[in-house]
Amino acid sequence: MRQVLSVTSECIPLVKTGGLADVAGALPGAMRDVGWEMKTLLPGYPEVMAKIKAGKTVLSDKNLFGGAAKVVEASGSGLKLFVLVAPHLYERDGLPYGDASGKDWPDNPERFAALCKMAARIGSEGAGDWLPDIVHCHDWQAGLTPLYLSQSSGHRPGTIMTIHNIAFHGFAPKEKIGLLGLPRDGFTQDGYEYWDQISALKAGLVWSDKLTTVSPTYAKELMRAEFGMGLDGLLQSRSNDLVGILNGIDDKTWDPATDPEIANYKTPRGKRTAKTRLRREFGLPVSDGPLCVVVSRLSHQKGLDLLLEALPALVDRGGQLALLGSGDKELERRFAEAAASHKFVSARIGYDEALSHRMIAGADAILVPSRFEPCGLTQLYGLRYGTVPVVAYTGGLVDTVIPVSPMTLRGKVATGIQFHPATSDALARALMQAVDLFADKPVWEMLQKNGMRQTVGWQASAAEYASLYEKVAPAL
Ligand code: ADP
Ligand code: GLC
């Protein structure tokens, strides 16, 4: 089997703040099925250290940005891991990227440069007798890896940089060029410089052999000024190396037939029971309208402020909203307020994996009104569970939902509702359409069944990654 090192800052079931963790956790299994052994390098945050049993030390460094560090092997949950143990960088209370209040750690440039340095060492020297053919980097946290690799004289694996979200560059002040050990002549417009700062993501995009993002539509959007966050020109110049490969979902964790959070779900009665329980759990009264859910980070990206404005279109027609999310404090406050003032709205502020399963199982529709969405996973969970997605027309939402139209209804292929542009008016119209379609039982059932038939696993995408790896891996 050929070998690939995946470099990531989060990975289920060890540490997660968003979809990156789901993808990093599911890829190794999917890649194994297409002939690639993937090992994952991850920072040793306290929650990771608590869940692993550390094995052999494969690399060490006496002074990695101010303290001793080592890379240890570990395994568990079907993953083969390398964990970077560096207490001075990772052993802190709070979140992977910041303190408990969400404020970024000031030394994030060093914290993730450390990850990249060790990734580059594994790539060029190997770890024990394991030497990767490919190093696959995820988002800015892994972005400096290909640049560090280009500075080393050892083995040269092929490099892939995957953009999960271009909104995060991983900036560092240029004064850190020396500290981070970056080549000064790379601090140019064609290199890792971005408006006089270091951009870790840009380094990854310039120095990697191939670039991917998580849906074909987002790949095209990234080359446009509205979505490219200043990197659209660079991505246009590398358009021959950029490919959109759609995320799958972990279809074992998200399987309505075996989900421990729900019982007998595959039968229509199972869905009805899940819905009744969900209403009870959220304190929502019985109503004829659709029960809609949101499971999301609360951030500008996700367009949930648009939902707050569009809510009357849903609740005044008998529809209901149950939301689970956390993040932006102002949005948290506004959703709590909406829940307090309307009996058809209920909100849980927090993060709760088990509840997210019960919500997606019990709801009629799942709302994803994002302003931009590289892929999005919750609409895929919705499809699998017969929970109709109502989504914005952007990124991966375009590639995963077949919108209701006279044509798709006649052809019996529609799986959800899409709205455009990303405004509260357009969303309100989509919510009204959801209420109307929900009242038309045969049509709604057709949407549910079409969605449940859609393939949402990793098989096809793993094959695409494999063929990309083969293009850049060193010859055997
Ligand atoms: P993003 O990565 O931009 O946040 P995705 O849709 O790709 O968006 O992935 C989000 C992941 O995080 C999904 O698995 C979703 O179910 C999960 N998630 C988001 N917010 C919560 C929450 N409050 N509680 C439980 N799971 C959540
Ligand atoms: C990012 C994106 C999301 C995507 C996830 C996994 O966080 O916002 O759309 O599904 O990464 O690739």
Tens digits of residue pLDDT in 368-389: 999 999 999 999 999 999 999 9
Mutate to test the pocket of ligand 2, among 375, 399, 400, 401 (most ligand atoms within 8 A of CB): 375
C-alpha span between 355 and 383 (Å, rounded): 18
How confident is the model at residue 267, as a pLDDT?
65
List, chain by chain if needed, residues with CB within 6 Å of any ligand 1 atom: 18-20, 22, 295-297, 324-326, 351-353, 356, 375-378
Q: Is 302 helix (H, G, I), strand (E, B) or coil?
A: helix
Residue 85 CB: number of other CB atoms within 10 A? 21
C-alpha span between 63 and 380 (Å, rounded): 44
Lowest mean pLDDT among 37-46, 75-84, 360-369: 75-84
Q: How far is CA 32 from CA 141, 189, 462, 463, 475, in A?
A: 24, 38, 9, 10, 20
C-alpha span between 461 and 212 (Å, rounded): 12
What average pLDDT does the segment 307-336 reach? 97
151 Cα: distance to centroid of ligand 2 (angstroms)? 30
Q: What CATH number labels 268-453?
A: 3.40.50.2000
- Counting from 1 in the atom list of ligand 2, the atom nearest the Cα of 374 is 9
Confidence of residue 101 (pLDDT cuts 50, 70, 90): confident
Q: Does the structure show a pLDDT above 70 at 158?
A: yes
Which tops the pLDDT comparison, 236 or 76? Answer: 236
At 61-91, the pLDDT tens digits run: 999 999 999 999 999 888 999 999 999 999 9
Residue 100 and residue 94 in contact, taking contact as beta carbons nearer than 8 Å: yes
pTM score of the predicted model = 0.96
C-alpha span between 402 and 388 (Å, rounded): 11
Ramachandran area for residue 138 (φ above 0: left; ψ -120 to 50: alpha; else beta): beta
Lowest mean pLDDT among 44-58, 129-143, 257-271, 350-364: 257-271
Ligand at shortest distance from the CA of 375: 2
Query: Fold identical between 2-248+459-472 and 268-453?
Result: yes
* Sign of the alpha-carbon torsion through 120, 124, 130, 136: positive
- What is the enclosing helix (H) or strand (E) of 391? strand 388-392
Residue 8 and residue 24 in contact, taking contact as beta carbons nearer than 8 Å: yes
How confident is the model at residue 380, as a pLDDT?
98
Determine the topology of domain 2-248+459-472 in CATH: Rossmann fold (3.40.50)
234 Cα: distance to centroid of ligand 1 (angstroms)? 29
What average pLDDT does the segment 297-304 reach? 97
Q: Tokens 């149950």 label which residue?
A: 322
Q: Report the DSSP beta bridge partners of residue 5.
A: 39, 135
What average pLDDT does the segment 31-47 reach? 97
What average pLDDT does the segment 328-336 reach? 97
Q: Does the structure show a pLDDT above 70 at 414?
A: yes
Q: Is 455 exposed, middle or buried (0-12, 13-18, 19+ CB in 10 A)?
A: exposed
How confident is the model at residue 472, as a pLDDT?
97
Residue 434 structure tokens? 């959801």
Query: How many residues in total does the chain contain?
Result: 476
Every domain of the chain and the residues it spans: 2-248+459-472, 268-453
Characterize the bridge pairing of strands 345-349 and 242-244: unpaired
291 residue type, one letter: L
How confident is the model at residue 268, as a pLDDT?
63
CA 288 to chain centre: 34
- Counting from 1 in the atom list of ligand 1, the atom nearest the Cα of 375 is 7
C-alpha span between 403 and 447 (Å, rounded): 10
63 Cα: distance to centroid of ligand 2 (angstroms)? 34
Q: Nearest to residue 209, comparing CAs of 470, 24, 9?
A: 470
* pLDDT, averaged across the chain: 96
C-alpha span between 271 and 288 (Å, rounded): 15
Q: Report the DSSP beta bridge partners of residue 366.
A: 293, 389
- What is the enclosing helix (H) or strand (E) of 55? none
Mutate to test the pocket of ligand 2, among 12, 165, 298 (most ligand atoms within 8 A of CB): 165
317 residue type, one letter: R
How confident is the model at residue 312, as a pLDDT?
97
Residue 240 CB: number of other CB atoms within 10 A? 8
CB proximity list for 233: less than 8 A, separation 6 or greater: none
C-alpha span between 247 and 377 (Å, rounded): 8
DSSP 474: P
Residue 206 and residue 145 in contact, taking contact as beta carbons nearer than 8 Å: no
Mutate to test the pocket of ligand 1, among 15, 301, 378 (most ligand atoms within 8 A of CB): 378
Q: Report the DSSP beta bridge partners of residue 76.
A: 79
- Counting from 1 in the atom list of ligand 2, the atom nearest the Cα of 164 is 11
How confident is the model at residue 266, as a pLDDT?
62
How confident is the model at residue 59, as a pLDDT?
98
CB proximity list for 180: less than 8 A, separation 6 or greater: 109, 110, 113, 144, 172, 198
In angstroms, how far apart are the furthest CA atoms of the chain? 67
